[in-house]
Amino acid sequence: MSKPLLLLTRHFPEAVEARAARDYATIPNTADTRMTGPEIVAAARKAEPAGILCAAGDALNAETIAALPESVRIIATFSAGTDHIDLAAAAARGIPVANTPDVLSVATAEIAMLLILSAARRGGEAERMVRARQWTGWAPTQLMGVTLEGKVLGILGMGRIGQALARMARGFGMEIHYRNRRPLPEAEAQGATYHDSDESFLGAIDVLSMHIPGGAATRHWLDAQRIALLRPGAIVVNTGRGSTVDDAALCAALESGHLRAAGLDVFDGEPRIFEGYYSAPNVMLLPHLGSATVETRDAMGFRALDNVDAVLLRGEAPPYPVK
Ligand code: DGY
């Protein structure tokens, strides 16, 4: 029996592509650049694949999905986030969408912790100074940051990534507060303090770490009003989705000194980055590295292929469907 055709919109880790090639006739994206929506449509119409393996940032919007050939029976994304896929359009076409939750929780929490540390201890500024050959030697008041021990970390969205970050931050002596749709069972909260309003949450914390999904409901959640509720000198870190932050408002608060520093791994409209961040010394900018470890990216790929296998090899529902 011939192998089902699988369109890969990206170049994926070697082990993932090897497993895909073992079980499918793969149509690779050899360019190693993101395919545009029209390019995905053109490739799919040409090859008529049974499945599409895509990734965060791919333009699986309503227009792309509507133009896909009838052959497509699954869209599997190599990501936990699904804001790049028009789920309603896929449902209208009867194409199941599946993602890769859980396996990236620790890696993403590590990047959040890295940004928290860098923001608190001015890691970005310090590294830029040394590289610019501007370090003139140790000085008692040079690049002083704040210590994390005893500070309150506020986790917005206490899912698996938030909980992994809470475990790490406890190791630094931080107290954990969180804002969620509902309180977690104690086994998951591990003593963290739940807030049922933005006002009480934002007013109680020294560091805000954001872990909420993108999309219309969360667009610009962190706006000027909510920033004003944060304590003077607070730190903001975002490893969720860039669209959840009003960049102009965040930049203004970093410039006025109301906020001490920020650390961002995700950006609204990335890879485009809000111009004001480039010249703000107190913001550390990373290129969406959250899940970028060898172990995690392999695990994401294998999970994505588990989804494809269920639909295309066994005629079953994918194990990680997006509802
Ligand atoms: C995801 O999986 O949604 C990440 O943002 C990409 O690693």
Enclosing H/E stretch for 154: strand 152-156
From start to end of 224-323, where are the E strands? 234-238, 259-264, 283-285
What structural domains and CATH numbers belong to the chain? 5-103+294-312 (3.40.50.720), 105-285 (3.40.50.720)
User: Before 271, cis peptide (omega within 30)?
Assistant: yes
Q: Take atom 5 of ligand 1 and give the residue whose Cα is closest.
A: 81
pTM of the entire predicted model: 0.96
Find out whether the beta carbon of 301 lies less than 6 Å from any atom of ligand 1. no
Beta bridge partners of 209: 155, 237
Mean pLDDT by 10 residues, the chain (323 residues): 95 97 94 89 97 97 98 98 97 98 98 98 98 98 98 98 98 98 96 98 98 96 98 98 98 98 97 97 98 98 98 98 95
Cβ atoms within 10 A of the Cβ of 101, count? 18
Find out whether the beta carbon of 56 lies less than 6 Å from any atom of ligand 1. yes
Q: Tell how far the Cα of 134 is from the centroid of ligand 1, in angstroms.
A: 36
Q: Take atom 3 of ligand 1 and give the residue whose Cα is closest.
A: 81
Distance CA 218, CA 114 (A): 24
Distance CA 108, CA 160 (A): 10
What is the reported pLDDT for 1? 75
Q: Which of 227, 211, 214 lies closest to 268, judged by CA? A: 214
| Ligand 1 binding pocket mutation candidate from 83, 100, 103, 291 (most atoms within 8 A of CB) | 291
Q: Take atom 6 of ligand 1 and give the residue whose Cα is closest.
A: 79
- Strand 152-156: give its sheet, edge to edge: 193-195, 175-179, 152-156, 207-210, 234-238, 259-264, 283-285
Find out whether the beta carbon of 291 lies less than 6 Å from any atom of ligand 1. yes
Q: Take atom 4 of ligand 1 and give the residue whose Cα is closest.
A: 79
Distance CA 14, CA 144 (A): 43
Residues with a known catalytic role: 241, 270, 288
CA distances from 48 to 31, 34, 54, 97, 143 (A): 20, 20, 15, 18, 57
What is the reported pLDDT for 30? 76
| Ligand 1 binding pocket mutation candidate from 104, 105, 320 (most atoms within 8 A of CB) | 104
Nearest ligand 1 atom to the CA of 77 is 2
SS3 for 184?
Answer: coil
